[in-house]
Structure 1
Amino acid sequence: MAEGLRERKKRETRQRISDVATGLFLAHGFDKVTVADVARAADVSVNTVFNYFGTKEELFMDRRAEAEDVPSRVVRERGPGESVVAAFRREFLAAIEAQDWRYGLNEGADEFERVVAGSPSLTARMREMEEQRRERLARTLAEETDAEPEDLRPRLVAAQILEATGLLARQAVRLRMAGESWGRIAPWLREQAQAAFDLLEKGIGDYGAGSP
């Protein structure tokens, strides 16, 4: 269905408010910027801001809903006969090439992280979002595999996959923050990602056993 004029204007207004807010947060820090500051800079009323965003944190995390659904979408859209681990390997390697924001690999992810780290409320919201991602992925895995309610495997798999991709992404951000260029980070990240997914795919039973 084609987007109507009213819907388009609402979408554009929401995006403009979000863009203005993000710019202010990056420039001054999340806790130092008020909703009134955002409204004034976006040339709208405070009530208008809250019509589009329920909380100040939502102004900064405006793509939270999409980010929370990414892991479940990877599972739902995997190819015929493709395992869950294989689907995430393919998706994450493609994300490195695209510097995908959904995995925190985009230009500016280091600035985003600095703002989050400087705000206790944003840090708490990020933890909450990660928990929601795990829960949603676990439910999707349970549905896709017809798991029984007492079967813990969907939760275990969800936790392992998201910890692996999260660790890889966080380390890439740390390297950016340390001044490394993406041209140096990307090859290292691809190598580490392949090793991580190899572990997930083959299991860790022999890890640390040493040579016979």
Structure 2
Amino acid sequence: MGLRESKKQQTRTTIADAALPLFLEHGFDQVTVADVARHAGVSTNTVFNYFSTKEDLFFDRQAEAEGHLAALVRDRAPGTCPVEVVRDDLLAALQQNEPTLGLHPGALRFWQVIHDSPALRAREREIGERAEAQLATALAEHPPSTVGAPDTIDPPGPALLAGAIAGTYRAALREIQRRIVSGEPPARARDAVAPAVLRAFNWLRLGLYADAGEQTPQERQPPRWPPEDQ
């Protein structure tokens, strides 16, 4: 990264870092872009040069979130089931208390701010829809292997498969959010959600691929929760 790009990234990070504490303290709808600019020490126009909308200031990593599932599918090893790849990535994130899952002390207030703002709830849905669309594109370009499948088997199309995978993934995140907002400690929420994630993705894989020449979760040893090294 060149010096110019590095400075631009630093400015963007400074603005985002100034915005989130304001939103968490006062609520999303009560904070203006001018408030953020003032706290970041830049002009309002500068903020809009880096963030097209106020929602972008709150979800400043939305591009990464939208492309995450698609990247997992594109980069998976040849012959690997996409359902497995997404399952194992989510289980690893849960095991490591990945901050983007909301498993940290400040998560409760973060989720509450989203819950209290119709604009943020709408943007959250848009992020999920765009993530699913990118996943469908990745699955079309890198489809699951059907080697050994009977000729009569017609595997699910990319859009349907993406909907099933992304829907299960979003449901897991919503369950984490529900538990955290209800006051459940993050560690307890994680330990309750992880086994359900494992079962849900295994059943999804079984239903999608058991008749398509893929190994089922019973034929290939699935991961365990808690992990054996804990």
What interval of TM-score do these two structures reach, taking the shorter chain for normalisation?
A: 0.7 to 0.9
Aligned to 1:116: 114
> Alpha-carbon deviation of 1:57?
1.2
> Alpha-carbon deviation of 1:101?
4.0
Q: Which of 50, 53, 65 is the equivalent residue of 2:51? A: 53
**1:172 and 2:170 are equivalent in the alignment:** no
- Contact 1:21/1:60 (CA < 8 Å) preserved in 2? yes
**1:189 and 2:193 are equivalent in the alignment:** yes
Aligned partners of 1:114, 1:50: CA distance in 2, in Å? Answer: 25
Aligned partners of 1:92, 1:183: CA distance in 2, in Å? Answer: 15
- Contact 2:28/2:113 (CA < 8 Å) preserved in 1? yes
**1:138 and 2:136 are equivalent in the alignment:** yes
RMSD: 1.8
TM-score (norm 1): 0.86
Q: Which blocks of at least 5 consecutive residues in structure 2 are unaligned?
A: 145-154, 209-230
- Contact 1:35/1:46 (CA < 8 Å) preserved in 2? yes
Aligned to 2:220: none
- Contact 1:75/1:140 (CA < 8 Å) preserved in 2? yes
Taking every aligned residue pair, what percent have the same amino acid on both sides? 44
Q: Which of 74, 78, 96 is the equivalent residue of 1:98? A: 96
> What is the 5 A alignment of 1:15-164?
15-102=13-100, 104-107=101-104, 108-145=106-143, 153-164=157-168
> Alpha-carbon deviation of 1:111?
2.5
Q: Which blocks of at least 5 consecutive residues in structure 1 are unaligned?
A: 205-212
Aligned partners of 2:39, 2:160: CA distance in 1, in Å? Answer: 45
> Alpha-carbon deviation of 1:187?
2.1
> Alpha-carbon deviation of 1:112?
2.4
> Alpha-carbon deviation of 1:32?
0.3
Number of equivalences: 197
> Alpha-carbon deviation of 1:77?
1.5
